[in-house]
């Protein structure tokens, strides 16, 4: 007896141990997936595109459709992920476990057929996993099902190349599921070309139906303390509010329908979009928390968390970057002189901490000292080229900077830097231009990891420079984002970030040498705006970027404090 993907999954598919849910799959947890899954089994539908938020059961749905096809409507199935190592990890940690728990799939495993993490030859059909751009062993053979998983991370051209694999088969099917990224990139275009189905929810009060949008999510919060969250009926004449409670979330799931917005699409080309408001396993509190933190980051010039929020949670493509504003350059305050703070013991008003940051050159050092207030405002006190190690130590001592507030770039002559850090108790820094964030594990009193936080700096790494010597602490930095924040301060749009009027031309010249430019990501091929690499002679800029890193580590910059009263 032929089973459709939903009947089949409710009978045979069990969640793997990494899933939110355990036990057998049930449609009632995500009824909106019904249309997507039945379309996959509909011979009239040639392609399906899901442009959806992260944590949307994307991979789960892909697994069900792949295994269903092996059992009920077999044909060679090719599953393409952005990178082959990702495909291997996914297979080993999730797919194999779900396959082993699935009776009809097990029955189709032949003893003789090859069965590896990436190539599974069932009696009925092969299931092949690969990375975009990897040359697959089966490249000559016809593919009936092509599944593109998270194509927004794929190398330019790889999507088009993969799509050619199914071109000639009359019963072939292309399925694409991805979070959005750029406007008019391949997943966005594929969605626009399909019939553009949006999930419309009926209001219990006014009975109007609307698609779910982040614009109607409201909250009442002070800092990160969220007192209330609700979703407002988009009808301005209606006062209905949904809350993050099981009944209201279930209403949105059960009293919604897919409405196609593109009447001109080929009837065989379906596309769906939904955001994080819909899946019941995503709490609205987490959505609002992400928004508040992203707004706080944006207030100091760090736009990356907002882009991630709009793309991956609100499910809207776009770069969310104001590239024009980044070109604004430094303005001198001219209200004080470097001489004002030369004398030992002088402090700026309300001084909280002062950091020294050191960039190493050939045979000399660049030293920058900046004093910070607890509110994130600051004053530059000193910037000069220093000829000797002895003078460096003396100058840091004269300005009374505590050793644990001195940060040295270890990107050049690392072993010498580590040795100097060891001798003085200073901290070494290492900038990583291709990393966006570092995971910090937050533990409870019992040492159990309760959650993970992403920050622009890593936790301490410890280096030994010799027997009997204390270990040196080193912090890795996500320099692209730190440079965004520094540029924001430099453009004088952020908190007061003062420069003495008589600082001199060398500082100013070095401060403005580096800018964002278009670069191609070597892994994905996508073109983005990134900070230039390898610009020589920008030591003042580097030292200021390290000051920002230090201020963020100390919690002076970047802590969420004043969110908007309601989501914009
Ligand atoms: Zn209403």
**pLDDT, tens digit, for every residue of 147-160?**
999 999 998 788 98
* Helices 5-12/33-40 angle, 10° precision: 110
Task: Find, among 376, 224, 220, 225, the residue nearest to 294 by Cα.
Answer: 224
Residue 271 Cα to ligand 1 middle (Å): 27
* Proportion of the chain in helix, strand, coil states, percent, rounded to 5: 30, 25, 45
Tell me the CA–centroid distance for residue 204 and ligand 1, in Å: 7
Q: How far does the centroid of ligand 1 lie from the alpha carbon of residue 209, in Å? A: 8
pLDDT mean across residues, the chain: 89
Residue 563 has pLDDT above 50, yes or no: no
| pLDDT more than 70, % of the chain | 91
| Whole-number pLDDT of residue 1 | 82
The terminus-to-terminus CA distance of the chain in angstroms comes to 52
Encode pLDDT of 441-461 as tens digits. Answer: 888 888 888 788 889 999 999
| Out of 74-78, 163-167, 300-304, 471-475, least confident range | 163-167
Where do the domains of the chain lie, and which CATH numbers do they carry?
5-194 (3.40.50.300), 325-553 (3.30.420.40)
Q: 16 with 98: CB under 8 angstroms? A: yes
Q: What is the CA radius of gyration of the chain?
A: 28
* Residue 178 confidence (pLDDT): 97
- Calculate the alpha carbon distances from 323 to 319, 511, 529 in Å: 10, 19, 9
Distance between Cα 22 and ligand 1 center (Å)? 35
In the numeric block, the tokens 């420079």 are attached to 465
Query: What is the DSSP code string of 39-65?
Result: HHT-TT--EEEEEE-SSSSHHHHHHHH
The pair of three-digit structure tokens given for residue 234, joined into one six-digit string: 């988009």
Sign of the torsion angle spanned by Cα atoms 540, 545, 551, 557: positive
* 235-239, 402-406, 463-467, range with greatest mean pLDDT: 402-406
Distance 213 CA to ligand 1 centre (A): 14
Cα of 206 vs centre of ligand 1, distance in Å, is 4
pLDDT of residue 560: 54
Centre of ligand 1 to C-alpha 216, Å, is 12
In angstroms, rounded to a whole number, what is the distance separating the alpha carbons of residues 302 and 484? 6
36 — pLDDT class (breaks 50, 70, 90): very high
Distance 201 CA to ligand 1 centre (A): 10
Mean pLDDT of the 455-478 span: 93
Ligand 1 centroid–CA 54 distance in Å is: 28
Distance between Cα 252 and ligand 1 center (Å): 13
pLDDT at residue 504, rounded to an integer: 81
224 CA to centre of ligand 1 in angstroms = 29
The model's pTM: 0.79
Q: 58-72 and 33-40 are packed helices; what angle lies between their axes, rounded to 10 degrees?
A: 30
241-295 pLDDT per residue, tens: 999 999 999 999 999 999 999 999 999 999 999 999 999 999 999 999 999 998 8
What are φ and ψ of residue 25, in 5° steps?
-65, 140
Ligand 1 centroid distance, CA of 251 (Å): 13
- All residues with CB under 5 Å from ion ligand 1: 203, 205-206, 233, 235, 238, 240
- Tell whether the model's pLDDT for residue 331 goes beyond 70: no
């Amino acid at each position: 007896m032929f089973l459709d993907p939903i009947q089949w999954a409710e009978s045979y598919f069990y969640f793997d141990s990494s899933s939110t849910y355990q036990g057998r799959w049930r449609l009632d947890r995500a009824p909106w997936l019904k249309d997507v899954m039945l379309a996959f089994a509909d011979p009239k539908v040639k392609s399906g595109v899901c442009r959806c938020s992260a944590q949307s059961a994307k991979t789960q749905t892909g697994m069900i459709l792949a295994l269903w096809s092996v059992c009920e409507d077999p044909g060679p199935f090719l599953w393409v992920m952005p990178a082959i190592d990702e495909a291997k990890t996914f297979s080993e940690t999730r797919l194999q476990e779900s396959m082993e728990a699935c009776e009809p799939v097990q029955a189709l495993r032949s003893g003789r057929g090859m069965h590896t993490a990436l190539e599974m030859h069932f009696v009925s059909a092969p299931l092949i996993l690969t990375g975009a751009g990897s040359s697959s062993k089966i490249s000559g053979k016809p593919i009936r099902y092509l599944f593109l998983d998270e194509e927004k991370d794929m190398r330019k051209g790889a999507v088009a190349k993969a799509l050619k694999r199914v071109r000639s088969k009359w019963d072939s099917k292309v399925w694409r599921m991805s979070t959005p990224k750029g406007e008019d990139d391949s997943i966005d275009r594929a969605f626009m070309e399909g019939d553009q189905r949006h999930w419309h929810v009926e209001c219990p009060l006014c009975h109007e139906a609307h698609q779910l949008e982040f614009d109607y999510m409201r909250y009442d919060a002070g800092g990160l303390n969220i007192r209330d969250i609700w979703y407002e009926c988009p009808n301005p004449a209606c006062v209905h509010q949904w809350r993050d409670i099981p009944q209201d979330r279930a209403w949105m799931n059960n009293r919604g329908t897919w409405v196609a917005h593109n009447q001109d699409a080929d009837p065989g080309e379906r596309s769906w979009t939904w955001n994080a408001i819909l899946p019941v396993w995503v709490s609205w509190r987490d959505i609002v928390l992400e928004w508040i933190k992203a707004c706080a980051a944006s207030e100091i010039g760090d736009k990356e968390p907002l882009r991630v929020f709009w793309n991956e949670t609100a499910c809207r493509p776009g770069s969310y970057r104001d590239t024009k504003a980044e070109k604004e350059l430094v303005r001198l305050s001219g209200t004080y002189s470097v001489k004002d703070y030369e004398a030992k013991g002088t402090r700026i008003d309300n001084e909280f901490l002062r950091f020294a940051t050191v960039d190493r050159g050939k045979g000399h050092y660049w030293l920058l000292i900046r004093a910070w207030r607890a509110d994130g405002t600051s004053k530059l006190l000193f910037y000069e080229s220093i000829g000797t190690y002895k003078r460096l130590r003396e100058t840091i001592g004269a300005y009374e900077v505590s050793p644990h507030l001195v940060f040295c770039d270890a990107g050049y002559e690392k072993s010498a830097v580590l040795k100097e850090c060891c001798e003085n108790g200073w901290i070494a820094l290492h900038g990583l231009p291709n990393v966006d964030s570092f995971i910090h594990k937050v533990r409870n009193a019992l040492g159990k990891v309760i959650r993970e936080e992403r920050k622009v700096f890593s936790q301490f790494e410890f280096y030994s420079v010799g027997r009997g010597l204390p270990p040196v602490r080193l912090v890795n930095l996500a320099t692209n984002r730190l440079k965004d924040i520094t540029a924001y301060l430099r453009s004088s749009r952020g908190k007061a970030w003062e420069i003495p009027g008589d600082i001199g031309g060398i500082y100013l010249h070095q401060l403005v040498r580096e800018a964002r430019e278009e670069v191609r990501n070597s892994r994905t091929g996508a073109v983005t705006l990134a900070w230039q690499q390898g610009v020589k002679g920008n030591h003042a800029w580097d030292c200021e970027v390290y000051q920002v890193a230090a201020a963020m580590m100390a919690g002076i910059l970047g802590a969420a404090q004043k969110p908007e009263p309601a989501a914009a």
